[in-house]
Structure 1
Amino acid sequence: METVIVLLVLFSALLHATWNAFLHTSGDRIWQLGMMSFPYLAVSAAALVFLPAPAAASWPYIAASAALQLGYCVALAAAYRTGDFGQIYPIARGLSPLLVCVGALVFAGEALRPLALAGVALVSLGIVSLAFNRRRLAAESVPAALLTGAFISAYTIVDGIGVRVAGNGFSYIAWVYLIFNVPLAAMVWRRYGGARRLFLDEPRRALHGMAGGAIALVAYGIVIQAFRYLPIAMVSALREMSSIFAVLIGWMFMRERLTARRVLACVMVSAGAILIRV
C-alpha cells in the first residue's frame, strides 16, 4: 500500500510540473491563475453535495489552508512578474521540503529517520541548484520566490494535520478549494469583463486555461490523500520531484537546454528520493 501511495505522489509531481508549464507558457499569468479557479469551484461545489461535512476540529485548518493557498497564488504571480520561470520555480519549491520537515516535527511530532532526513536535504539542495546557472538571479524576484516557498511549506503542514482530523480527506480539500478560489474567480471575472470575454470570445483559450486548473486539482487531491498514510515531510519531498519533471518538460517541449549542471541536480533529487524511501 505504501509503495502505491509513493507512486501516486510521484504521478502528482508530474501533474504539478505540467500545470506549471501551462502557467509558464501563458501570455497572461494573472488570467491563467484566475481561469484555473473555475474547475476548482465547479468540482468542489459538486462534490460537497455528496460528501459528508468534515469534522468540527478540522475547520480552523480549512480556513488557514484557504488563506495560505490564496497567499501562495499572489506570491507566485508576483515572483513570475520579474523573475525567470527556470529560476523562480526551483527556489520556491526547493525550500519547502526542509521547512516542512521542521514544521512537521514542531507541529505534528513527526521525526524522520536519519537516512530519510538526509534524503530531504538532498532533494532541497538539488532543486535549489537548478536555479543557478550562468544567468544572474533577478534580485527583485527572489523575496517573492522565498515568500512563495514559505506559503507552500505552511499550507502543506496545515493540510497534513487538517486532513487527519477531518474524517474525510475529500470533503476537507473540497472546502479548501471552494473557499480559496472564490476570490480568484471574482477577481478574474471583474478584471476581464465577465463570462463573454472569459469563455465565449476565445473558447479554445478558455479551455486551455481551465485545463491547467483541472490538472492542478487532481495533483493536490492525490497529495491530500497521501498525507493520511505517509509522514508529511516525506510526501512534501517526493512531491518536489516535480522540479525534475519541469526540467524534462522544458527540454522536450520548450527547447530549453539540458545542461550538465541540470542533469547533476536531477541526479541529486533522485538520490534524495531513494534515501527517503529506503
Structure 2
Amino acid sequence: MQPFIVLLVLFSALLHATWNAFLHTSEDRVWQFGMMSFPYIVCSAIALLFVPAPARGSWPYIGASAVFQFGYCVALAKAYKAGDFGQIYPIARGLSPLLVFAGAFIFAGEHLRPLALAGVALVSAGIVSLAFRKRRFATASVPAALVTGAFISAYTIVDGMGVRVAGSGFAYIAWVYLLFNVPFAAFALYRYGGPRRLFSSDARRSLQGMAGGAIAMVAYGIVVIAFRYLPIAMVSALRELSSIFAVLIGWIFMSEKLTARRIAACALVTAGAVLIRI
C-alpha cells in the first residue's frame, strides 16, 4: 500500500504545480481565480451539510486563515504577472517551510534540529540564486514571490493551530474554503456581468477555468488521504517536489529557459524544504 500512496502524493505535487500553471498562463487571472472559486464553494457548501459545526474557539483561526489565503491568491497572481513560472513557484513554495520553521522556533520554542538547519541554508541559497537574473536582482517578480511565500507560511501556521481546536478538521477546512472563495466568486460575477455572461459566453473556457479549482481540490484531498497511511513529515517532504514539476512544466509548455543555474537553484530549494519537513 505504501508505494501506491507515495505515488499518489507525487501525483498530488504534480497537480499542485499544474493548477498554478493554469493560473500563470491565464490571460485574465482575476477571471481564473473567480472560475476556480466555484468548485470550492459548491463542494464546501455540500460538505458543511454533513459535518458538525467547528468549535467556537476555532472561528478566529478560520477568519484569519481565510484572509491569509485570499492574500496569498492576490499575491500569487501579481507574482505570476511579473516573472517566470519556474522562478516564482519555487521561491514561494520554498520560503514557506523556512518561515514556518522560524516561527516554530521563535514562538513555539521548538528545538533546532541539525537537518532542519541544513535545510534552511539550502533553501536560502536556492532562493537567493533564483532571485537574480544575469547578476541583477529581479525587482519586478521576486518581492511578490516572497510575499506569496509569507502568506503561505501565515495560513499554514494558523491552520496548524486552528484545526487542533476546531473539533472537526473537515468542518474547519470547508469553512475556510467557503469564506475565502466567496469574494472571488462575487467579484467575478460583478465584473463579468452576472452568471449568464460569465458561464455561457464561452462554455469551454469556463469549464477549463473551473477545472483549475477541481484540480487544486483533488491535490489537497490526496494529501489528506495520504496522512492516514504515511507519516506527516514524509507526505510534506514529498509535496515539496512540486517545485521540480513546476520547472519542468515551465520548460516544456511555456518555453522557459532551463538553465543549469535554475535547475541547481530549484534542486537546492527542494532539498532544503525536504530537510526542514522531515
What TM bracket, shorter-length normalisation? Answer: 0.7 to 0.9
How far apart, in 2, do the equivalents of 1:6 and 1:109 lie?
31
Shift in Å at residue 47 of structure 1? Answer: 0.8
Matched, 1:230 2:232: yes
Using the TM superposition, name which of 267-276 and 154-163 deviates more: 267-276
Identity %: 76
Match of 2:246 in 1: 246
> Structure 1 residues 206, 13: closer, same or farther in 2, change over 3 A?
same
Cα distance change on mapping 1:102 and 1:222 into 2, 3 Å: farther
Contact in 1 for aligned 2:22/2:212 (Cα 8 Å): yes
Pairing of 1:95-174 with structure 2 (within 5 A): 95-111=95-111, 113-123=113-123, 125-126=125-126, 129-134=129-134, 136-174=136-174
The corresponding residue for 1:18 is 18
Gaps of 5+ in 2: none
Deviations 1:94-136 (A, max 9, x none): 3211101112334445446321342354245435534444385
Q: Using the TM superposition, name which of 52-61 and 100-109 deviates more.
A: 100-109
Offset, 1:15: 1.8
Task: Summarize deviations over 1:146-183 as a string: whole Å, max 9, x none.
Answer: 22221111001111222222222221111100011111
Q: Which moved more, 1:1-10 or 1:171-180?
A: 1-10
Relative to the length of structure 1, the TM-score reads: 0.84
Aligned residues: 276
Q: Does the aligned pair in 1 maintain the 2:40–2:213 contact within 8 Å?
A: yes
- Between 1:190-199 and 1:117-126, the stretch displaced more is 117-126
d(CA) in 2 for partners of 1:107 and 1:7? Answer: 35
Quote the Cα distance in structure 2 between the aligned partners of 1:35 and 1:193: 14
Contact between 1:94 and 1:128, CA under 8 Å: does it hold in 2? no
Shifted more, 40-49 versus 108-117: the winner is 108-117
Corresponding residue number in structure 2 for 1:180: 180
**Does the CA-based 8 Å contact 2:96-2:149 persist in structure 1?**
yes
Asked if residue 264 in structure 1 is aligned to residue 269 in structure 2, the reply is: no
List aligned pairs for 1:34-45, cutoff 5 A.
Answer: 34-45=34-45
Report how far residue 6 of structure 1 moved: 6.8
For the Cα contact (< 8 Å) 1:36–1:209, is it kept in 2? yes
Letter in 2 for 1:102: A
Q: 1:128 to 1:201 in 2, by over 3 A?
A: farther
Question: Does the CA contact (< 8 Å) of 1:87 and 1:137 recur in 2?
Answer: no
Partner Cα distance (2:78, 2:91) in 1:
14
8 Å CA contact 2:98, 2:273 repeated in 1: no
CA distance in 2, matches of 1:80, 1:255: 15
Aligned counterparts, 1:210-229, within 5 A: 210-222=210-222
- Residues 1:207 and 2:172 are matched in the alignment: no
Deviation at 1:16, TM superposition (A): 1.4
Instruction: Tell whether the 8 Å contact from 2:90 to 2:266 is kept in structure 1 after alignment.
Output: no
SS in 2 for 1:50: coil
Q: Note the aligned Cα RMSD (angstroms).
A: 3.1
